[in-house]
């Protein structure tokens, strides 16, 4: 393993250099008593950072932004965003900093970013801080998503700062060190557009092309190709969320990436019982970001991206709009194809199968799951056993067993492949009751349960003895789950 000597961690400042109008040089607030809570060693190694050094005093200070490598330029990034449908022209990193970019072991540029590192000029009324619980939550859930094969930002580490944070009560503060293929958001493009500076917008779009879709640079219309690439990446991403039962919870345009990575694990949660109207976030009173609305919301966010990019498509506004509409029309078929392909795989059915057959089978199944309030993850995993001839575990999840039997007969006739199903239907996800249990223990100073949960969800498809409780649905008395916005 090759690791950089700590004194020469080569942090680039590409965003800060190429887009100074959107990068405000800033420093982290000093942490009074930084203590490392979790370190993602495989990710550290991928980034060429020495885990042993990161665990030491200088490394921990690096992870909270107190010790910045020579030549690095930490910045707070400017962005705008539609929050619950309302446009806010100036959001930006109110409590976060981009330390810089690192070239990883595969030669890819990755952002190293801190969340909870103190107030910045974008903080508005916020305190710039983050509490230990929500940052550990982001660590676990983002690592689970990564292990599930879903594009996501990663968590390198969570460090307790020793500074209390005032929420409803006083909580211990923390900084999350986050790694992403970039922190460009739909809201970043909206910010550039709102400045009225078309050259800035163009520079931002070119920066996005260089980082995320280099192929677009060679297209006849590179900025249209960029929009098409984001449409494709987001259609695929939201299909993955839907297929695994992930509810993001706060899909504002500032939380929708240009890279197609999941970002901002605030009030997110995984479905227990299947129900498209499921909302966990305490602030989402109208269910705008309910599980079943997610594809429509992503499409809406992409329309905001297209709008922001319009001046780059054509000098003629009518023509620019026609180009944008055409690109956006790619979303629905791409989403539908990704979802069908994924659902066919979850059902263990052969690749050549007609999409209409998958769709009809899936529609009837989802209705049964919803009527029976069946646990989404348990069902699909136990369906693998049914493909091997043991239908009882799946069947027993339903009240309407005859309904399930009739459906299963149609499904089995298509020849499902149980081994293939086990490779796509996870046994272990960060179930809400397990996440809460691990965070409660961590708040009492016991990181053991968090470590065990991380171990389970880090190999989600690989069923292991001794981990039965990580595969089981929430106990009845866990009740209705509510999440809070991660501040
Ligand atoms: P989020 O809901 O985390 O996506 O954040 C939305 C906006 O609020 C972003 O501009 C954040 O930087 C800002 N923000 C959230 N929490 C805080 C905080 N505690 N202090 C300052 N800014 C914050
Ligand atoms: Mg955000």
Q: What is the pLDDT of residues 128-160, one digit of tens each?
A: 999 999 999 999 999 999 999 999 999 999 999
> Cα 281 from chain centroid?
16
Q: How far is the CA of 257 from the centre of ligand 2 (A)?
A: 10
Answer yes or no: 254 catalytic: yes
Give percent of the chain with pLDDT exceeding 90.
94
pLDDT (tens digit, 9 = 90+) per residue, 438-455? 999 999 999 999 999 999
Length of the chain: 487
CA distance 130 to 80: 21
Q: Give a three-class secondary structure readout of 81-140.
A: EEECCEEECCCCCCCEEEEEEEECCCCCEEEEEEECCCCCCCCCCCCCCCEHHHHHHHHH
* Res. 382: pLDDT tops 70: yes
Domain residues of the chain, as ranges? 6-180, 184-427+471-487
Q: Whose CA is nearest to atom 1 of ligand 1?
A: 264
Distance 78 CA to ligand 2 centre (A): 12
Q: Is the pLDDT of residue 3 over 80?
A: no
183 CA distance to ligand 2 centroid (A)? 10
Which one of 114, 119, 126, 263 would you pick to mutate in the ligand 1 pocket, going by the greatest count of ligand atoms within 8 A of its CB? 126
How far is it, in rounded angstroms, from Cα 311 to Cα 320?
7
Active-site residue (options: 66, 254, 272, 422)? 254
Burial of 376 (0-12, 13-18, 19+ CB in 10 A): buried
Asked if 237 and 150 touch (Cβ cutoff 8 Å), the reply is: yes
Containing H/E element for 414?
Answer: none
Task: Please name which ligand lies nearest the alpha carbon of 97.
Answer: 1
With contact defined as beta carbons under 8 Å apart, do 12 and 103 qualify?
A: yes
86, β-bridge pairs: 83
Q: Which of 24, 87, 94, 127 most suits a substitution to test ligand 1, by most atoms within 8 Å of the C-beta?
A: 94
Q: Best of 24, 113, 117, 123 to mutate for ligand 1, by most ligand atoms within 8 A of CB? A: 123
Global pTM reads 0.97
Tell me which residues have their CB closer than 6 angstroms to ligand 1: 91-96, 122-123, 126-129, 250, 254-255, 264, 266, 485-487
Cα of 376 from ligand 2 centre, angstroms? 28
The residues, ordered by sequence, that sit 6+ positions from 466 with a Cβ below 8 Å of its Cβ are none
Residue nearest to atom 6 of ligand 1 (CA): 91
What is the whole-number distance in angstroms between the Cα of residue 66 and the centre of ligand 1?
A: 21
Query: Who surrounds ion ligand 2 at CB < 5 A?
Result: 255, 264
- Mean of the per-residue pLDDT values of the chain: 96
Going by alpha carbons, the residue nearest to atom 2 of ligand 1 is 485
Residue 178, pLDDT score: 98
Give pLDDT tens digits for 328-359. 999 999 999 999 999 999 999 999 899 899 99
DSSP-derived letter for residue 152 is: B
Residue 146 CB coordination number (10 Å):
20
**Nearest atom, ligand 1, residue 120 CA:** 21
Whether the pLDDT of residue 8 is over 80: the answer is no
Give 28-73 pLDDT, tens digit per residue: 999 999 999 999 999 999 999 999 999 999 999 999 999 999 889 9
pLDDT at 7: 56
> Token pair of 418, please?
């149980």
């Amino acid at each position: 393993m090759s690791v950089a000597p700590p004194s020469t961690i080569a942090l680039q400042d590409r965003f800060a250099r190429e887009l100074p109008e959107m990068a405000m040089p800033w420093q982290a607030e000093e942490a009074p008593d930084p203590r490392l809570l979790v370190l993602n060693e495989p990710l550290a190694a991928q980034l060429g950072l020495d885990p042993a050094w990161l665990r030491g005093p200088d490394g921990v200070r690096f992870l909270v932004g107190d010790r910045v490598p020579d030549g690095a330029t930490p910045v707070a990034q400017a962005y705008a965003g539609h929050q619950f449908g309302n446009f806010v022209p100036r959001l930006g990193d109110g409590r976060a900093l981009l330390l810089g970019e690192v070239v990883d072991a595969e030669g890819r540029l990755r952002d190293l970013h801190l969340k909870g590192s103190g107030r910045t000029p974008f903080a508005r009324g916020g305190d710039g801080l983050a509490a230990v619980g929500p940052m550990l939550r982001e660590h676990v859930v983002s690592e689970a998503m990564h292990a599930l094969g879903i594009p996501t930002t990663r968590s390198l580490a969570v460090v307790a700062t020793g500074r209390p944070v005032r929420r409803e009560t006083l909580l211990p503060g923390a900084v999350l060190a986050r790694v992403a293929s970039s922190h460009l958001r739909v809201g970043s493009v909206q910010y550039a557009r709102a400045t009225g500076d078309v050259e800035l917008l163009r520079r931002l779009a070119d920066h996005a092309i260089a980082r995320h879709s280099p192929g677009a640079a060679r297209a006849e219309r590179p900025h249209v190709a960029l929009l098409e690439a984001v449409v494709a990446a987001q259609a695929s991403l939201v299909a993955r969320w839907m297929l695994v039962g992930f509810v993001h919870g706060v899909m504002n345009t500032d939380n929708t990436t240009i890279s197609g990575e999941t970002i901002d694990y605030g009030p997110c949660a995984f479905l227990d019982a299947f129900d498209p109207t499921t909302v966990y976030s305490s602030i989402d009173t109208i269910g705008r970001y309910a599980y079943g609305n997610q594809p429509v919301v992503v499409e809406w966010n992409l329309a905001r991206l297209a709008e922001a990019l319009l001046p780059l498509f054509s000098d003629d506004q009518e023509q620019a709009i026609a180009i944008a509409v055409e690109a956006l029309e790619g979303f629905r078929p791409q989403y539908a194809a990704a979802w069908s392909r994924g659902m066919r795989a979850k059902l263990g059915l052969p690749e050549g199968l007609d999409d209409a057959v998958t769709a009809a089978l899936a529609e009837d199944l989802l209705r049964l799951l919803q009527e029976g309030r069946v646990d989404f993850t348990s069902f699909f995993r136990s369906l693998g056993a049914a493909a091997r001839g043991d239908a009882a575990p799946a069947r027993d999840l339903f009240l309407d067993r005859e309904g399930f039997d009739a459906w299963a007969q149609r499904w089995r006739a298509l020849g499902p492949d149980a081994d293939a199903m086990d490779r796509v239907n996870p046994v272990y996800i960060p179930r809400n009751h397990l996440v809460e249990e691990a965070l409660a223990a961590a708040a009492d100073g016991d990181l053991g349960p968090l470590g065990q949960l991380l171990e389970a969800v880090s190999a989600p498809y690989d069923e292991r003895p001794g981990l039965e409780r990580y595969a089981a649905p929430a106990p009845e008395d866990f009740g209705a789950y509510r999440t809070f916005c991660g501040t």
